[in-house]
Structure 1
Amino acid sequence: MTTDLEAVERIAIRELLSAVAGDLGASMRPEWERAAWGVPRSVYVPDRIYLGDELEACDRADDPKAWLRAVYANDSVVSQVNDGQDPGDGERWASSSASAPSIVFRMLHMADVGEGHRVLEIGTGTGWNAGLLSYVAGPENVTTIEVDPTLAARAKDRLWKEGLRAEVVVGDGSMGHADSAPYDRLVGTCSVRSISRSWLEQVRPGGVILTPWDSPWFCYGLLRMTVDDTGRAEGRFSPHSAFMLMRNQRTALRIFRDVVREDHLPDESTTALSPWDVAGDDVDAQFALGLQLRDVWRTWHEDPDVDGVKTRLWVATTDATSWAAVDWDGTSDDRFTVWQHGPRRLWDEVQAAYAWWTWHSRPGPERFGLTVTATGETRWLDTPEHRVPVTG
């Protein structure tokens, strides 16, 4: 007999597929729609998830309807906090999640995975994405790698119970998994700041690398690259996604703990460039600055308890040797106070990067690309010959 929750789940899957198709702007491919039904998300998302800005726990046993609504919403679901450690009464931060279904299926379409393709997935997480890949490519063709042993074990248990016996490996995703190479497709489910040479070596000529992108300035963009017969990979960005960063590429920096010191004597100047122009709501600007300012990050400070300062934008290098602060007094819209310290004039670099972007007609992510060889990376605009200037 069908239970109420089973009926609710069927309705939720239909509504989710409709929402995904709306986001894609087209109907889902039949093989992926079949996979969505054959690999239910509810099987893979853990019984405890974390919701809202405060990451409040929601347990399946305590509130099954709320849990099911969250699982089948077209949104990401935080499945682990604090790398699996109990935060107690301390701060909770998301360390693993099930990505929003719309971006999951967008990436599966972009990767163009088909039956018989050998696929390496970087970042197993809950195992749902590996299940979808296994359903279409065949589980014997799918290898998925996860740095967290607990997450890997749980995902393997779910996959194998469902008869999708993909190879689940515990390890550093940036190194790939050479034992099962070569691959036709490599799909990342965590953001990266650079492309591993191991990935290039393990994807066959003509194969595709698809991964979310991140810079210390701004986490945004999907990168789709094709590997050629010389071991070079080249491709373009697209304006989608925001994924958690690969664990071995994290930078857990804080301004007052790691960067600014009481004995620092910064230089004072003014600027007409609004901090909101470079770190506000314009994702195109932020993406372009992130490509140029390779090792620069930023954070906002509201009401910093400084006379005459309403809002401050902090900018710093990831090695914590240089920083800048841009102050808004709460009234002026065309003049801001700048403080800079260290061997690099970071606000000068930000202004130069923004000027370059505006000079080139404010391009969005889809006009940028990346070429990776055994010796390095080149970021470019429109064509590989038109290099993006990079600092750091």
Structure 2
Amino acid sequence: MTRLGSHLERLAGDLNHALVEQLVDKRALTTPGWRAAFEALPRHLFAPRFTLPDNLGGESHDAADRGRQEDWLRAVYQDEALLTDFDERGILVSSCSAPTVVATMLEQSGATEGDSVLEIGTGTGWTAALLSRRLGSDAVTSVEVNPAYVAQARQRLDDLGLAPTLAVADGYLGYPQRAPYDRIIATASLRRVPPAWLGQVRPGGTILTDLRGAFAGNLARLTVGDDQSAHGEFLPTRLTFMPLRSPEQPFLLQPELSSRAVHQAGESRFTRLAPTVLRERGRVFAFFAQLAMPGTESGYVKVEGGTMYFCLTDPGTGAWARADATLGDPAADRQVTQGGDRRLWDELEAAHMQWLQLGQPRPEDLSIVVTPDGEQVVAHPATDTRWSLPL
């Protein structure tokens, strides 16, 4: 654990208290028990090294750099995600979630004294520490696929006198050794609710996870029934997590397919649906569209010295579509070209029409049902509109 001088210790305490007050003011933190845990476990203890996101300058910070420890502390206590690890390709693989996100997950989980909790995705160990402080170490299990993260988190927790069960394990499979649990909290995004989780939660217990497809995601909270089924809702809170890393659920998008789609010959026509439609309204339509168009990916490609294209692709069938995304009147007709076994732009237009006919439902207007046979998202109780997951 990084040792700080008295001045920096006071600064860290002031910054942490200000952060907690900010979370309370935003109503991300509403329960006295969670507030006490945040006050007792300052964030800097779990983020000795990180890089800020590009929108904050992308600067790297290290607590070991004694000449810049004050800068490090001030960066830690911003309400932003901190990027903590990258793979050999330079792709982000781990982060310390923004404090608002951590507080929201704990509050929305409903976890309270007497509950046992399985956390999927140990990461830096901060959430496991907060859970242990509130619920007691014996009640907390946290799993992570990366052994180095588990070792680092264990050392940080040991230094604080906390001893939850930490394990190197594939989170998609849960952790049956300590089941059953009252709550499962996933701090990683998934395309579907893993079947193994249903059998590891007590009837009446809950699962809280970010269900995310190629277009958008949303936080879902489900209650598990007696028959290893679960039902629940999508919450109005929009959160973003790193994808769960598991061989059971690959989450690799293929941007090269969009580049290929730009140069292929196909059938052309004009469309009035602007390519920005998947980015509008807080991605509300995007969430709906991925349910109606499973297996579809999207991306923007700029031809050097030429046109910007928005592309839809289906890695499974090789189908593709591209539309002129050059800035201009969003209501103007623009050319779209598509090819393959699916007509992806036709599907996008049909999904948009259906979304309008249903009253432009938001994710929180939908419900989700999980059974041993799979998952379904239901548009409205009064309709028969349903989609099967994965997204």
CA distance in 1, matches of 2:326, 2:145: 45
Residue of structure 2 in register with 1:76 after alignment: 81
Structure 1 position 59, deviation (Å): 1.4
Q: Deviations over 1:32-89 (max 9, x none)?
A: 01101222211112x220113274422122221221122211111111112xx4x6xx
Structure 1 position 299, deviation (Å): 1.0
Q: What's the Cα RMSD here? A: 2.3
Structure 1 position 130, deviation (Å): 0.5
Residue of structure 2 in register with 1:250 after alignment: 251
Conserved? CA contact 2:253–2:297, under 8 Å: no
Conserved? CA contact 2:259–2:301, under 8 Å: no
Alignment gaps of 5+ in structure 2 = none
Say how many residue pairs are matched: 378
Residue of structure 2 in register with 1:152 after alignment: 150
Bigger mean CA deviation after superposition, 328-337 or 238-247: 328-337
CA distance in 2, matches of 1:192, 1:357: 24
Identity in percent: 31
Residue of structure 2 in register with 1:366 after alignment: 364
What amino acid maps onto 1:75 in structure 2? E
Residue of structure 1 in register with 2:304 after alignment: 305
Residue of structure 1 in register with 2:287 after alignment: 287
Q: Deviations over 1:332-352 (max 9, x none)?
A: 541111111211111111111
Bigger mean CA deviation after superposition, 252-261 or 376-385: 252-261
- After TM superposition, the structure 1 = structure 2 runs for residues 42-81 of structure 1, keeping only pairs within 5 Å, are 42-45=44-47, 47-53=48-54, 55-62=58-65, 63-81=68-86
Match of 2:43 among 30, 34, 41: 41
Conserved? CA contact 2:81–2:96, under 8 Å: yes
CA distance in 2, matches of 1:18, 1:382: 38
Distance 1:98 1:139, change over 3 A: same
CA distance in 1, matches of 2:11, 2:382: 50
CA distance in 2, matches of 1:131, 1:257: 42
CA distance in 1, matches of 2:277, 2:50: 36
What amino acid maps onto 2:105 in structure 1? M
**1:167 matches 2:165:** yes
Distance 1:193 1:256, change over 3 A: closer
Structure 1 position 286, deviation (Å): 1.5
Residue of structure 2 in register with 1:184 after alignment: 182
Distance 1:32 1:330, change over 3 A: closer
Match of 1:346 among 344, 347, 362: 344
Q: Secondary structure at the match of 1:73?
A: coil
Distance 1:149 1:55, change over 3 A: farther
Bigger mean CA deviation after superposition, 273-282 or 154-163: 273-282
CA distance in 2, matches of 1:33, 1:282: 29
Residue of structure 2 in register with 1:18 after alignment: 21
CA distance in 1, matches of 2:355, 2:202: 35
TM-score of the two chains, using structure 2 as the length reference: 0.90
Structure 1 position 254, deviation (Å): 1.9
CA distance in 2, matches of 1:384, 1:152: 47
What amino acid maps onto 2:53 in structure 1? G
Distance 1:323 1:151, change over 3 A: same
Conserved? CA contact 1:324–1:338, under 8 Å: yes
CA distance in 2, matches of 1:18, 1:250: 36
CA distance in 2, matches of 1:320, 1:9: 54
CA distance in 1, matches of 2:170, 2:160: 26
CA distance in 2, matches of 1:149, 1:384: 48
Conserved? CA contact 1:278–1:354, under 8 Å: no
- After TM superposition, the structure 1 = structure 2 runs for residues 105-144 of structure 1, keeping only pairs within 5 Å, are 105-144=103-142
Bigger mean CA deviation after superposition, 30-39 or 332-341: 332-341
Structure 1 position 292, deviation (Å): 2.4
What amino acid maps onto 1:319 in structure 2? G
Conserved? CA contact 1:328–1:337, under 8 Å: no
Match of 1:3 among 6, 30, 52: 6
CA distance in 2, matches of 1:329, 1:2: 55
Conserved? CA contact 1:212–1:243, under 8 Å: yes
CA distance in 1, matches of 2:270, 2:259: 25
Q: Secondary structure at the match of 2:209?
A: strand
Match of 1:237 among 234, 256, 261: 234
Q: Deviations over 1:236-270 (max 9, x none)?
A: 111320111112331141235885496x4321111
Structure 1 position 359, deviation (Å): 1.2
Alignment gaps of 5+ in structure 1 = none
Q: Secondary structure at the match of 2:204?
A: strand
Structure 1 position 306, deviation (Å): 6.7
